[in-house]
Structure 1
Amino acid sequence: MNKLQAMEVFVQVVDAGGFTRAAESMQLPKATVSTLVQGLEQALEVKLLHRTTRHVSVTADGAAYYERCLRILSDVREAEESLSRNRANPSGRLRVDVSSGIANDILLPALSDFFVRYPDIRLDLGIGDRPVDLIEEGVDCAIRGGNLPDSALIARRVGVLHFVTCATPGYLNQHGRPTHPNDLSSHRCINYFSTKTGKIYDWDFIRGDEVINIAAPACLAVNDSTAYLTAGMQGLGLMQMSSFMVDQMVAAGKLEIVLPDWTSTPLPINVVYPQNRHLSAKVRVFVEWVADLFLTHPFLQLQRP
């Protein structure tokens, strides 16, 4: 027995004053209405209605139960209506964590569109390359680049990071242009290290079947993608940088790509959130918006043209 349906039928029988009228108003067979009320009485082990051939009346227990049913059904309708409104017009505080590069180059320039669509959401954007503990720090979701070791998170892949090796024209004029990854041993490089572990990331190069991993000789190491780009733009050395962050500088002649025949391993971009946390309407619409945003970006989309 569907107890909620049985409660709705019972209330309708009381309001209509009989089974026939209740069945007509609910567009159910009279036998179904009678069976549901009888099943409710059997489950409760009380008599809810006095029945005669001409009249139906409520017992004392039935009257008390009727009042309870009204409140329960009202709460259910209110919850459904609230959820429906939230889906159409999600609202409230949304805490999102994202790397500085994606925040400054991708999200912030596009957020006006997000707020036009969802004006009742207040976005708290944590910006930085430090990996946060979503549950401990109360973060609803995060946008992360790279492979995810944390199995406690649900991930939706929304894009891919592609990398190029580049430097300023001034640096290349002074130090020369590498023609092979092994040439980096005689160059100044800018390294990136993990905020969490302090580990310096190797540079990797792929050309056909050749794969080379290099611990690049560094004059500087940083742990923030925006600072990494700033250091490279100052001519401090070669850098291996996300394509989306350097595209405009390359087009303007402020940076030059080196070793163009060599690529680096692309890294996935995921929106992640805790698996034990209800995916609210505000998180859902943000994830969908980010996925659409990345889908149209030439350097982040999952399938590049």
Structure 2
Amino acid sequence: MEYLNDMALFVEVVKVRSFRKAAEGLDMPNSTLSRRISGLEKAIGLRLLHRTTRKIELTEAGQLYYERCKRIVDEARLAHEQLGEMLARPSGLLRASLPVDFANVYLAPLIAEFARQYPGISFDFDLTPRQVDLISEPVDVVIRMGEPPSSNLIARKLASLQRFLYASPRYLEVSGEPRSPVDLAHHDCLRLRGPGSDRWTLSGKGETEQVDIGGRFELNSVGMLRRLASLDLGITLLPEGIAAQDVAQGKLRRILPDWQGSPVSVYALTETRLLPAKTQRFIEFVRDKLAAQ
């Protein structure tokens, strides 16, 4: 049984790649943690970690041991949490990485409602478009817009957002307003970075059109697309909720109203299917609320 405790300590050290950070998170002396891991290595008869003054790295044996240990530790933690749910509501710190604009427009009111419903949960949100490493970083769930990359992560679909075409009144005054999808080929189009960014698929009037587009701006932020469009720099595809405020203020106008772009999917990504109650409830809550909108 002592091995199981040391395995859990080893997993925490590997997750944060630091004895000091792991010791702080576990609320135990750094020296005690280091001694326990050294004892585990001696008991196994193999070195699991390469230690330097600046970082730690897994040995080949350590990598194999970590993959096996993590599954065991996750199963044990989940078993305790599921039993604990019979007596108490989900609690603890929920760490999530969220896309900035989607979080501000769609998630903020849902998070407020979720926080009121589960007062035992506290939150640490990282609003960023960067690719988060769920294995090496202390993040419970990542929410991203667009199809997830092929990986070993577990992807759960949360929503599918319809997208429409928008431009500023000033841009349309200067450049003219498209009357059909093929006219977009002659306009500056603000594009979201990704595969197929130079071609938009539009549906409407019972048919589908694929239009080759061009323009000077390609980026990875939906909010920046909206902002540049409102500054008269071109036409862009946006979810209705993202564009709503600028439309209400007259900064953007929907064009080609009979047509819409291909929907953008929203996914929750986790490292494992074995989720603690706080994470499972959060994902389910967001999925159900977005489906009801």
Structure 1 length as normaliser, TM-score? 0.63
Q: Contact conserved, 1:94 with 1:282, CA < 8 A, in 2? A: yes
Deviations 1:53-112 (A, max 9, x none): xxxxxxxxxxxxxxxxxxxxxxx9xx8698425873222221112212211111223332
Q: Contact conserved, 1:99 with 1:225, CA < 8 A, in 2? A: no
Q: Residues 187-202 of structure 1 correspond to what in structure 2 (within 5 A)? A: 187-194=187-194, 200=197, 202=199
Q: Contact conserved, 1:192 with 1:201, CA < 8 A, in 2? A: no
Specify the SS of the correspondent of 1:266.
strand
Counterpart CA distance in 2 for 1:251 and 1:87 is: 48
Counterpart CA distance in 2 for 1:116 and 1:150 is: 35
Deviations 1:133-171 (A, max 9, x none): 322323211222222343523233221111101111111
In structure 2, what residue type is equivalent to 1:240? L
Aligned to 2:216: 219
How far 1:282 moved relative to its partner?
0.7
Aligned to 2:286: 290
Specify the SS of the correspondent of 1:162.
strand
Q: Residues 110-129 of structure 1 correspond to what in structure 2 (within 5 A)? A: 110-129=110-129
1:233 aligns with 2:227: no
Q: Contact conserved, 1:192 with 1:221, CA < 8 A, in 2? A: yes
Report the number of matched residues. 216
Q: Contact conserved, 1:193 with 1:223, CA < 8 A, in 2? A: yes
Q: Contact conserved, 1:129 with 1:225, CA < 8 A, in 2? A: no
Unaligned runs of 5+ in 1: 1-75, 298-305
Deviations 1:107-131 (A, max 9, x none): 2233322222222222121212233
Q: Contact conserved, 2:98 with 2:142, CA < 8 A, in 1? A: yes
Aligned to 2:106: 106
Q: Contact conserved, 1:97 with 1:141, CA < 8 A, in 2? A: yes
In structure 2, what residue type is equivalent to 1:286? F
Counterpart CA distance in 2 for 1:294 and 1:81 is: 27
Aligned to 2:157: 157
Instruction: Quote the sequence identity (%).
Output: 33
In structure 2, what residue type is equivalent to 1:287? I
Specify the SS of the correspondent of 2:216.
strand
In structure 2, what residue type is equivalent to 1:221? E
How far 1:203 moved relative to its partner?
1.9
Counterpart CA distance in 2 for 1:119 and 1:164 is: 37
Structure 1 range deviating more: 173-182 or 144-153 = 144-153
Specify the SS of the correspondent of 1:148.
coil
Aligned to 1:259: 256
Unaligned runs of 5+ in 2: 1-75
How far 1:280 moved relative to its partner?
0.3
Aligned to 1:131: 131
In structure 2, what residue type is equivalent to 1:232? A
Counterpart CA distance in 2 for 1:82 and 1:294 is: 26
How far 1:179 moved relative to its partner?
0.8
Q: Contact conserved, 2:205 with 2:258, CA < 8 A, in 1? A: no
Q: 1:227 to 1:87 in 2, by over 3 A?
A: farther
RMSD after superposition: 2.7
Q: Contact conserved, 1:128 with 1:224, CA < 8 A, in 2? A: no
Specify the SS of the correspondent of 1:219.
coil
How far 1:187 moved relative to its partner?
1.7
Instruction: Tell me which structure has the larger Cα radius of gyration.
Output: 1
Counterpart CA distance in 1 for 2:251 and 2:181 is: 22
